Amino acid sequence: MKVKKIPPKNIEEQVRHIGVLFERTHDDVKQIAEQVDNLDRRFGNLEGRFDNMEGRFDNLEGRFGGMENKFEKMQQTLDGHTEMIGKLAVVQESHTEMIGKLATVQESHTEMIGKLAVVQESHSEKIDKLTNNMEIVKSDVQIIKNSIKAKVDTDDFAALERRVILLERRA
């Protein structure tokens, strides 16, 4: 299963997404486990049937030693059941492989969550530094603002300049 890369938009969103993937994986594993349990029950039922059939064969052999036609039909039934068990064993092995793959995916998700936690810690440290720097910038801006208020602005300077020119012309 190929893991889809998520662009780092929001760590919390990514963690939630991984949690959803983990829950889906958990549900899939649960379903497969139920299917395996169901197959185990079927195997148990088939084993009981085979044991019962063996007893019947012994009884028939003792009672009807010369009835080979019936025996051959029963042998065919037994062969069909054996074939069915073979097919079920293949299905069970396939499910076992799927469970193994899901376990691998779960491990990779666990690793990703660990890496995301490290990234989140790094981002938290950077945010703390940025917060401190922002406080410094705020105080510097406040100082600059206060010093600008104390100075003459350009409108006042222009008015004073005109008055000086008028006074120089009169004098």
DSSP class of residue 9 equals S
Predicted pLDDT at 8: 54
Q: Where are the alpha helices (H) located in the chain, listed in sequence order?
A: 11-63, 68-150, 154-170
Tell me the percentage of the chain whose pLDDT exceeds 90.
33
Tell me the domain boundaries of the chain: 11-130
Beta strand extents in 5-148 (DSSP E only):
none
Per-residue pLDDT of the chain (171 residues; tens, 9 = 90+): 555 665 556 788 888 888 888 888 888 888 988 888 888 788 777 787 878 888 887 776 667 666 677 778 889 999 999 999 999 999 999 999 999 999 999 999 999 999 999 999 999 999 999 999 999 999 989 888 887 766 667 787 888 889 899 888 887
Question: What does the pLDDT read at residue 19?
Answer: 84
| Contact predicate 54/135, CB 8 Å | no
Predicted confidence (pLDDT) per residue in 123-138, tens digit = 999 999 999 999 999 9
Query: What gap in Å lies between CA 138 and CA 156, rounded to an integer?
Result: 28
CA distances to 47, 153, 171 from 85, in Å = 10, 96, 122
pLDDT of residue 147: 75
Helix axes 68-150, 11-63, angle to 10 degrees: 170
Per-residue model confidence (pLDDT) at position 171: 72
Give me the sign of the Cα torsion angle 50, 52, 56, 59.
positive
